[in-house]
């Protein structure tokens, strides 16, 4: 039995629930589908949210058994606007992710000028190796949280030198 993994990045936070929303401090979303014989899903898939590293999980949500089908639609929150170069634009943009079972997530973009980044993997070890690299591509804060706070440049140098 194998699994398929999809890593979504360029996320600053995730909101779950409607009309009452819970905001979660997540920068990566991993979609997992356990695969059985004949390349068919064998168990419920799950959605897992992470901070900046696979060792920093935030939430796990189990989906119904079946193909991991979802729709990602670009969205913004028009309630809070900011001025950029004389033009008003929404402060929060991102994607609404709606799964076939009705689960909905609003993925707020870390970098509003870049689309949601989606990468597929066949091995979970690849996901854990790539997750901090993918998050760092859109990271704007001076410190990057791992097991302790380090300067962003130090983490980037470390990942560059020790990446396999």
Averaged pLDDT, groups of 10, the chain, 164 residues long: 84 83 91 70 82 89 77 78 72 85 88 91 92 91 76 85 70
* Positive or negative torsion for Cα 17, 18, 19, 21: positive
Q: What is the pLDDT of residue 39?
A: 62
Q: Is residue 138 helix, strand or coil?
A: coil
What's the confidence (pLDDT) of residue 78?
67
Kind and range of the H or E run holding 90: strand 87-99
Q: Which residue has the tokens 């913004």?
A: 76
pTM for this entry: 0.79
Structure-block tokens of residue 131: 């997750």
DSSP-derived letter for residue 37 is: G
* pLDDT number for residue 142: 82
Q: In three state form, how does the secondary structure of 109-120 look?
A: ECCCCCCCEEEE
Neighbours of 111 (CB within 10 A): 16
């Amino acid at each position: 039995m194998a699994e398929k993994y999809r890593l979504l990045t360029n996320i600053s936070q995730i909101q779950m629930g409607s009309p009452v929303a819970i905001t979660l401090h997540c920068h990566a979303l991993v979609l997992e589908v356990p695969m059985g014989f004949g390349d068919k899903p064998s168990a419920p898939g799950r959605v897992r949210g992470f901070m900046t590293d696979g060792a920093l999980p935030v939430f796990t949500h189990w989906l119904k058994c079946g193909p991991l089908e979802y729709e990602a639609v670009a969205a913004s929150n028009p309630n809070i606007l900011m001025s950029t170069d004389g033009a008003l634009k929404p402060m929060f943009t991102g994607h609404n992710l709606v799964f076939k079972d009705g689960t909905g997530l609003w993925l707020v973009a870390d970098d509003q000028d870049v689309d949601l980044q989606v990468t597929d993997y066949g091995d979970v070890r690849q996901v854990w190796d790539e997750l901090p690299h993918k998050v760092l591509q859109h990271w704007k804060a001076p410190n990057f949280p791992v097991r302790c706070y380090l300067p962003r440049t130090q983490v980037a140098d470390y990942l560059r030198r020790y990446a396999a």
